[in-house]
Every structure is written in structure tokens, then in C-alpha cells.
Amino acid sequence: MKLPDKIGTLEEAVSCIGDGASVMIGGFGVPGTPFTLIRELVRQGPRDLTIIKNDANEADMGVDHLLVSGQVARLVTTHIGLNPRAIAMMNAGEIEVEFNAQGILAERIRAGGAGLGGILTDIGIDTELANDKQRINVDGKAFIVESALRADVALVHADRADPFGNLAFAATARNFNPLMAMAAARVIAEAEQLVPLGDLNADDVHTPGPFVDELVVLNELSEEYAVVQR
Amino acid sequence: MVARAADEIAPGMVVNLGIGLPTKVVDHLGPDFPVCLHTENGLAGIGPTHPPETADRNLIDAGGAYVSTIPGSAFFDSAVSFALVRSGRLDLTMLGAFEVSQHGDLANWKIPGKFSPGAGGGIELAQKARRVIVLTTHTDRAGNPKLKEACSLPITARGCVARVFTDMGVIDVTDTGFALVEIAQGITPAEITEATGAPLALPKGDIPTF
């Protein structure tokens, strides 16, 4: 037996994203952000998107291009402090922003990926993040209900991949990528390096291939992937 | 103040240092000091920071600084990272603050109408670290006290702060409110009391300085 090949073209892979789609995008700052897939999403231009990402990147990088092009209707995130445009658009009502506690966003996505309905947590129970959320007592302790999150499409960035879509991430570029790779109806991975089947040791696979629908191999890395000069 | 705060880190601890002043605490720990520094974006065992020329583009801390690994470092995803925080494995966090109340309530994530970038991982750090220490200036830029009877800004977490380090002193949050532990050299008890927006209990006898 041989595992199937999922390598596709950039254009074809991203073409499944239509107007109104929800899109999870991996990355925490630069590491792990699938800049090439985002650029193609900008080029193809679907609108009214719900973007689910830890942060909004910085000016002229990643999610910022989607904000400039006016494709984002809603942003589900944890912190957008490094992107003044995202804050300005939120304040002007041009995009809707939903803030989550960072680990709770991760758990909501993990729950979505695990086929669960949501999670119970006391995180933020004293804050305005708990407003309008259902409260439940379990064994005398108060929790709020955080619903599971799934998306139509997840865009993730891997360091290494084999043709089946087994993925390995590098250093702190892992972050939300393996969680989002479980939580979308269609999962598209870009990878810096394609290795033959079997070259990724089975013990070293971070995201198992069955979660991945399409693999885009990066022939070169744009400047966006580089070390940020501050 | 930052050097004094470094004394709070005991050998063997797992510690998360928040963005800003707290990050500088690490500069006062010796290279062989046994501690595991954690960052929310998925690393336990943070090594020294690097200039852009030698940085690994995939290796940052939660503040975006290019850091490094040390022997024994581990990477993990964002769910694992906060499992570590919420399950009580984080011995200590040091955070910045807009306001701290006499009951240990912390406000450090939002100034309505002015500053609302989102809390990131701050709520979980404040609510779940075993010990929460705040490093901040004693007053804001306008000279208003940051230590208050009650927070006026949106709360990050209630009753979480154990101790506050400021440019004027070291203050504990006790069952009966703020208590001065140490005072900065050149500051008088009257001055720090005046600059504090809630009752401040003074220690009996001589007040240690730093």
C-alpha cells in the first residue's frame, strides 16, 4: 500500500475559499504564518471573510494585506496590538473584532477539531469577555461555556511535509497551526520543504496526514518570512 | 526595582515574564541560575535574545523578541502552552499594570476608548499563575496613583496580585490591604503614602530599603 499524494497548486488550493467563508490562519506573529497562502487569498479576492487568527500580524504583512483589500468582515483573535490598521478599522466599525483569551482560543479550536461542542472554563469569568456567555456550575464551581470553533478552511504553514500531508513545524512556528489543522472542513498546508514519504519519522510528525486536504510546496520564501528588523 | 524583583525568582521555578519591564528581570539572573522561563507562544526554556543578524526567524517570545533555546528547551503548541499555565505548573508570573486594587485585582489589558488591543494571554497568566507579581511605576504619567482602593478600568483578574514592585517601594497585597515591605532609597514613607490611592500599612520599626 502507498499513501495518497495531496500536492496541489497554490491557485487551485486557495480557490475553494469563497465569499463569506470562515478561514483559520496559523501563526503567532511571523513564525508559522502562511504568508504565501494569504497572498493568494488576496489575489483571488473573496470578500466578507471571517478570519480566525491569534493576531493581525504587522503593517504590510500577512493579515494586514487582507485588511487593506477590504476582504475581512470579522476577526476572531486574541491581540492586535502590533497592527495599528486593525485597531483603527475596529474602532471605525469597518471590521468586527471578537477577542478571546489566548489559551481559550486555542482550546475552542482544539475542541472544534476534536468533535466537541465546547469547553467549560473559569478564565475571564470576572471580565467583560464573559459577558453574554452561559454560566454552568459543576461540583460547586462556576464556569462559563466557550463554544467550539470550526472553520470552512484552515491555512497552515509547515516547515517540512511529505506528499501525504504529514507535517512538522519549526520552533515557535508551531503555535496554532496543529490545532487549526484539525478544525476546518478543508485544510490547506504550505510547506517550506517537501520530503519523500518515510523521511519524516513517524514519531516526529506533528500533524498527521489524514487532517490535511491539500499541500502547497513553497519554492521560495518571500521577505515576509524573514527576521523582522525593528 | 527590576534587580530587586529578580530576587523573587527561586531556583527550580517555572516563570513567565510579561512584556515590558518584567522581561528585563532576566538580565539580573546569572547564566547558571536554575530556572525554566516559559513563553506563551510555545517554548519552555528560553535562552538569550539575539540581534537580527543571528536570529532564527522561527524563534521568538510572545513579545516578538528573537530568543534562543538552551539545553533541554521544549517547543509545543498554543493549547499545551496554556495547559501549562492553567493547570498550575507556572510558579510565578511578573506582569505590568494600569491599576492594582487593595484586594489584588489587576487591570492591565484595556483602557476603554484609548487602548484595546486584546488581552492576549494576560488573563490566563494573571488568573492561574501560582504567584503573580506586578512591576509598574507607582503613578501614571499624569501622576495619578496606580495602586487604588478599587480598579476603575476593566479587570484582568480579581484577587490575583500578591506583591507589587514600583519605583517607590515593594508593596504586599494582604487580607487587610496594601502593606509596605521595602522602600526605595531617597523616598520617605510620607511620599509613598501620598502617592498611593489606598491605605498603606507601614512596617513597624525601620523600613528596609532597596
**CA A148-A21-A56 angle, 5° bins:** 75
Q: Quote the CA–CA distance of A156 and A179 in Å, as a whole number.
A: 10
The closest CB to that of A102, out of B78, B116, B127, belongs to B78
What DSSP string describes A174-205? -TTHHHHTTSEEEEEEEEEEE--TTSS-GGG-
Query: What letter does residue B205 receive in the DSSP assignment?
Result: S
Query: In order of start, what are the domains of chain A with their CATH numbers?
Result: 10-103+150-219 (3.40.1080.10)
Q: What is the pLDDT of residues A178-223, one digit of tens each?
A: 999 999 999 999 999 999 999 999 999 999 999 999 999 999 999 9
Cβ of B64 under 8 Å from any chain A Cβ? Answer: yes
Q: Quote the CA–CA distance of A72 and A65 in Å, as a whole number.
A: 10
User: For chain B, how big is the Rg over CA atoms in Å?
Assistant: 17
* ipTM, two decimals: 0.97
pLDDT in tens, chain A (230 residues): 999 999 999 999 999 999 999 999 999 999 999 999 999 999 999 999 999 999 999 999 999 999 999 999 999 999 999 999 999 999 999 999 999 999 999 999 999 999 999 999 999 998 999 999 999 999 999 999 999 999 999 999 999 999 999 999 999 999 999 999 999 999 999 999 999 999 999 999 999 999 999 999 999 999 999 999 87
Asked if residue B182 belongs to a domain, the reply is yes
Neighbours of B115 (CB within 10 A): 12
The closest CB to that of B78, out of A124, A170, A179, belongs to A179
How many domains would you assign to chain B? 1
Phi, psi of B8 (to 5 degrees): -75, -15
| Domain harbouring B116, CATH code | 3.40.1080.10
- Host domain of residue B7: 2-201
Q: Quote the CA–CA distance of B36 and B11 in Å, as a whole number.
A: 9
Residue with cell 489575489: A43
Asked if residue B207 belongs to a domain, the reply is no
Q: Widest CA span of chain A, in angstroms? A: 56
CB contact under 8 A, A174 and B116: no
Asked if residue B93 belongs to a domain, the reply is yes
The closest CB to that of A101, out of B64, B83, B119, belongs to B119
Neighbours of A198 (CB within 10 A): 10
Distance from CA of A148 to the nearest CA of B (A): 14
A148 neighbors A110 (Cβ within 8 angstroms): no
Cβ of B60 under 8 Å from any chain A Cβ? Answer: yes
Distance from CA of A205 to the nearest CA of B (A): 13
CB contact under 8 A, A101 and B123: yes
Amino acid identity at A69: S
